[in-house]
């Protein structure tokens, strides 16, 4: 991550938690700045000011760095206030394991790609289908090869017996919706929430369910407010690394499989092998063709 890169949602969530905890004890917390692999921000109390840094490693574990604070008493004080934040990953895993069944999981694919559609998927599972999906090795699609994703997706569709929804936003429709949301002063998260909402709505038209889980990317009030009557009583859980839950993992596989299939079809239609991703090399290579 460079100084100009935006921090991911897990870092932003950690910042918000830190800011809330410190504010309760009278501390002022500045806006954050992105740094390599993390963020940094100033904290102050009366005439004292210090710099706090927060990092995330490759496994998604959050670490608070107190090394820039030279006052040992202040370090001890701040650590005592933020000790619960250090256990954010343990608390999250416990919360995921206690959600119960039946449940709807949603996820998306294609938001970080230069070519292809943006796909949102939802899956309704009960305890029985959850056990079967686990036995098949269903997990977050980012941990699976594309070949494995394409192999597992039809099995999920068969096991869940039509209680799924896949919302595909073509590049053309994506551009139209994005322009519309920009005019309304909304951002990409609003578009993502729209896709998740549509997936949940379609499933609720097929089956009753009282709880849904998704990765945290937007204010859950937006999704709840957009749900039709059948979804108004739904409890929506948004958390980071929600793909650890089997319902979200299954949704991620379905979304990724649809994205891969459509990208292949688009490549065949125009006679060019369109690559995945959105790196500068992807953009440059295609522009030079």
Residues of the chain with CATH 3.30.420.10: 99-286
Q: DSSP state, 118?
A: E
Strand partners, 235: 211
Q: Which H or E run contains 168?
A: strand 164-169
Strands 103-109 and 118-125: antiparallel
Q: Which of 45-54, 86-95, 231-240, 258-267 is predicted with the least confidence, judged by mean pLDDT?
A: 86-95
In this structure, CATH architecture of domain 99-286 = 2-Layer Sandwich (3.30)
Helix H or strand E segment including 17:
helix 9-23
Parts of the chain belonging to CATH 3.30.310.240: 9-89
Taking Cα atoms as reference points, which of 128, 139, 121, 120 lies closest to residue 102?
Answer: 128
- Decide if pLDDT at 98 tops 80: no
pLDDT tens digits, one per residue of 108-117 = 998 877 788 9
Beta bridge partners of 168: 119
Q: Which residue has the higher pLDDT, 49 or 272?
A: 49
Residue 72 has pLDDT above 50, yes or no: yes
Considering only the top CATH level, what class is 9-89? alpha beta
Q: What pLDDT sits at residue 218?
A: 58
- Under the banding of pLDDT at 50, 70 and 90, the label for residue 287 is very low
Supply the mean pLDDT for the chain: 82
Alpha carbons 215 and 92: distance in angstroms, whole number = 12
Strands 28-29 and 103-109: unpaired
Structure pTM?
0.65
Complete DSSP assignment for 255-288? HHHHHHHHHHHHHHHHTS-PPSS--HHHHHHHHT
Q: Which residues make beta-bridge pairs with 124?
A: 104
In this predicted model, what pLDDT tens digit does every residue of 197-237 receive, in sequence order? 899 999 999 999 999 998 876 556 667 766 766 666 788 88
**Other CB atoms within 10 A of residue 272 CB:** 12
Q: What is the pLDDT of residue 94?
A: 47
Helix (H) or strand (E) holding 44: strand 38-45
Cα angle 86-91-95, degrees, rounded to a multiple of 5 = 160
Mean pLDDT of 166-192: 80
Assess whether pLDDT exceeds 90 at residue 182: no
């Amino acid at each position: 991550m460079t100084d100009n890169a935006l921090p991911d949602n897990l870092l932003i969530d950690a910042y918000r938690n830190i800011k809330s905890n410190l504010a309760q004890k009278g501390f002022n917390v500045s806006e954050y700045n992105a740094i390599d692999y993390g963020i940094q921000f100033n904290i102050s109390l009366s005439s004292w000011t210090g710099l706090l840094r927060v990092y995330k490693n490759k496994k998604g574990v959050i670490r608070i760095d107190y090394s820039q604070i030279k006052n040992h008493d202040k370090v001890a004080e701040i650590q005592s206030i933020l000790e619960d934040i250090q256990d954010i990953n343990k608390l999250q895993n416990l919360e995921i394991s206690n959600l119960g069944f039946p449940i709807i999981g949603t996820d998306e694919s294609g938001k970080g790609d230069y070519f292809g559609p943006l796909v949102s998927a939802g899956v309704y599972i009960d305890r029985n289908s959850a056990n079967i999906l686990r036995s098949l090795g269903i997990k977050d699609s980012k941990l699976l090869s594309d070949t494995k994703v394409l192999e597992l997706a039809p099995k999920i569709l068969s096991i869940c017996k039509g209680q799924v929804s896949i919302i595909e936003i073509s590049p053309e429709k994506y551009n139209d919706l994005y322009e519309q949301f920009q005019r309304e002063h909304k951002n990409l998260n609003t578009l993502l929430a729209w896709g998740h909402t549509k997936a949940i709505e379609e499933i609720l038209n097929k089956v009753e369910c009282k709880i849904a889980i998704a990765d945290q990317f937007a204010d859950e009030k937006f999704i709840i407010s957009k749900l039709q009557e059948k979804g108004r009583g739904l409890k929506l859980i948004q958390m980071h690394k929600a793909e650890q839950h089997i319902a979200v993992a299954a949704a991620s596989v379905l979304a990724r499989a649809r994205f891969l299939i459509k990208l292949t079809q688009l490549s065949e239609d125009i006679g060019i092998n369109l690559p995945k991703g959105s790196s500068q090399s992807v953009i440059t290579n295609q522009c030079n063709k």
